[in-house]
Amino acid sequence: MHLGRDVTLYVLARLGMVAVVMGLLLLVNVPLLVSLAVGVVVALPLSLFVLRGLRTRVAEGLNERGAERRAERDRLRAQLRGETPAL
């Protein structure tokens, strides 16, 4: 459906979570690289819960796209074998 949009939103949301955690740590004078590392580590499990709906939409979109690609590949292979496609 809107796989590209959903993936983009998911990536931006994850990066936003890293930025928020990083920003909070920088406010309490934690060094930049340490803040970045902690932000990445904290955002991963946090995004599993906070972004559950969006992650599910992305997974469903990827599964749907994979099924379409498999069907197209099977259709092309059948054509190469000389079989007529069933309509």
Instruction: Decide: residue 61, CB within 10 A, 0-12 exposed, 13-18 middle, 19+ buried.
Output: middle
Residue 21's pLDDT band, with cuts at 50, 70 and 90, is very high
The token pair at 62 is 């990827």
Q: Is the pLDDT of residue 28 over 90?
A: yes
* pLDDT tens profile 35-70: 999 999 999 999 999 999 999 999 999 999 999 999
According to the model, what pLDDT value does residue 82 have? Answer: 86
**CA triplet 55, 16, 49: central angle to 5 degrees?**
35
* Token duo for residue 64: 């749907």
Three-class secondary structure of residue 49 per DSSP: helix
Find all residues with CB under 8 Å of 55, minimum gap 6, and list them: 10, 47, 48
